[in-house]
Amino acid sequence: MEIINAINTKLKDTIRFRVVLVLCGTLAIIFREPEMFLYPRIWAEEATVFYTFARHHSVWDVFTTAHVGYLTLFNSVVSTIQAKLFSVENAAAVSTYMGFLVQLIPLYIVAFTTHKFWNNPIKKMICVLIVISVMAPELYINTTNSHFILGLITFLIMMISPNTLSRFQKYFFRTLLFLGGLTGPASIFFTPTFLFKAYREKNKEKYIQAGIITVCAIIQACVILYSIFYNNTYNRLSVTDFKTTRYRFIIDNFTLMPHSHLFDGQLFSIDYIILIGLLMSGFYAYLFLKNYRNSEYLIALISFIIIAILSTLGSLHMGGGPRYAYIPTCILLIVLMSQFFEPKRNYIALFILVFCLSINVFHYTTNINNWAYKPSYPKWRTEVAKWRLDSTYNPKIHPAFYRDDEWRVKL
C-alpha cells in the first residue's frame, strides 16, 4: 500500500493528470482495433433500420418512430446527419465516429469529477481501465449499442455529488441524462435509485437530474408498453427457454466477464463459468450486507441488481448477451475496486478485480476477431462503389460472421 500511496502523492489529481488520463484512455480505445478508424463500418441496425429509414423519410418521421420497441433519440440524430448532410460513402464514418465520441464521455466523467469510488489518481486509472476493458466487442464504436454506454454514463452522473460540479458540467450532464433516457431502456432503469439518491441528498441539482430521468422513464414506458401490446416485433418480455434466461442472468451479471459465453472450450467450460457466477453472486450478497448502512455503496449495489434483472428480462427473448452485461459488470467491478481502498483492505475484492480484468484485457482480441471484426469483413466504401455501379446491389455490412446474405442493406 505504501507504493500506491506514493504513486497517488506523486501523480496528484491535477488538470494535467486528468487530460493525460483521458488521452491515454482514448488511445486505448483506438488501438483495440485501429482498422475500424481507417475503414469505418456500419454495424447491423445502424444500416438495416436507422440509416435506411432516414434516407427515405422526413426528419419528423425519423424522430417520432420507435423502430425497436423504444425511443432511440441518439440514433435518430445520427441517422439524420448521415442521410441528410452526408453522402452514402461517408455514412459509415459518421456512425463510427459518433459511437466513438459517446465512448469517450465516461472517461471524461471519471477523470474530471470526484466521487468516493474515483477520488484519487489510482482509482481514476482503474475505473478507466474497467470502462474500456469489459466493453463487449458488439459495443465497440457503433451507435446501435450506444444506449448501453449512455446507461453507464447515467449511473456515473447519478453517483456524483452536484456540489462538486461546475456550471458547464451541470448543464452537460442534464443533456446527457435527457439523451440517454430517450435513447433506450438502460438509462431509465436507474430511475428508482436516482430518486432515492435525490431524496437522501435533498439537493436542487440532484432533484433536477432525477426529474429529467423520471420524465424520460415515463415517456419510454409508454412507448415500450405500446410496442409490447401492439407491435412486439422484437419479442420483448417473451422467452423461448427460461433455462437459458437463468443461465444468462448468472453469467452476464456475476461472472464479471461479459464475453464469457465465448470462452466455452477456450478458457473455461460452461460448468466453470456458472460456478464463477454463483460464487460471485454470494460475494455480492456479502458486500450488500456489509455495506447496507453506507449510502454510496448501497445505491451502487441496488443499482447493480436492478439493472441486472431488468437487462436480462428486457433482452431479446430474455436470452441476455455480452452487451447486456456491460453496465452491471462495470458497476460491480468499480465497487470491488473501491472496497480494496477502504481502511480495512478487502483482498478478496482485489483478487476478483485483477482476475476478471486480466481475462477481459488479454482475451478481448480473440473475442473481437471471432465475430465482431476481421480485416476480411466488407469495407463500406467498397460496397457502396458496387452499389453505384449496380443500383440493385445490396451492400454488405458488419457483422459478417453469418451466411453471406445475413447482413445487407437495401439503399
- With both helix axes pointing from N to C terminus, report the angle between 91-112 and 73-85 in degrees, rounded to the nearest 10: 140
C-alpha cell at 314: 428486457
Tell me the pTM. Answer: 0.93
pLDDT at 247: 83
| Of residues 234 and 39, more confidently modeled | 39
In order of 67, 316, 320, 324, 366, the CA distances from 313 in angstroms are 19, 8, 8, 10, 28
> What mean pLDDT is predicted for residues 372-377?
77
pLDDT at 136: 84
- Cα–Cα distance between 369 and 201 in angstroms, integer? 46
pLDDT band, residue 410 (cuts 50/70/90): confident
In which element (H, E) is residue 178 found? helix 167-181
β-bridge partners, 408: 396
Q: For 178-200, how does the pLDDT look when each residue is reduced to its tens digit (9 = 90+)?
A: 999 999 899 999 999 999 999 99
Q: For 335-346, how does the pLDDT look when each residue is reduced to its tens digit (9 = 90+)?
A: 999 999 888 888
Q: For 9-54, how does the pLDDT look when each residue is reduced to its tens digit (9 = 90+)?
A: 677 889 999 999 999 999 999 988 888 899 998 998 999 999 999 9
Asked whether the predicted pLDDT for residue 260 surpasses 70, the reply is no
pLDDT at 305: 96
Is the distance from CB of 63 to CB of 50 less than 8 angstroms?
no
Lowest mean pLDDT among 6-20, 32-46, 146-160, 202-216: 6-20
Is the distance from CB of 169 to CB of 202 less than 8 angstroms?
no
Long-range Cβ contact pairs of 173-176 (< 8 A, separation 24 or more) = 173/209, 174/208, 174/209, 174/212, 176/105, 176/150
Q: At 42, give phi and psi (nearest 5°).
A: -110, 130
Asked whether the predicted pLDDT for residue 211 surpasses 60, the reply is yes
Asked whether the predicted pLDDT for residue 306 surpasses 70, the reply is yes
SS3 124: helix
Q: What string of DSSP letters covers 190-220?
A: THHHHHHHHHHH--HHHHHHHHHHHHHHHHH
Asked whether the predicted pLDDT for residue 130 surpasses 90, the reply is yes
Measure CA of the first residue to CA of the last residue in the chain; give whole Å: 59
Asked whether the predicted pLDDT for residue 405 surpasses 60, the reply is no
C-alpha cell at 332: 460491480
pLDDT band, residue 265 (cuts 50/70/90): very low
Largest CA distance in the chain: 68
C-alpha cell at 52: 435506411
Residue whose C-alpha is closest to residue 342's, from 108, 42, 101, 117: 117
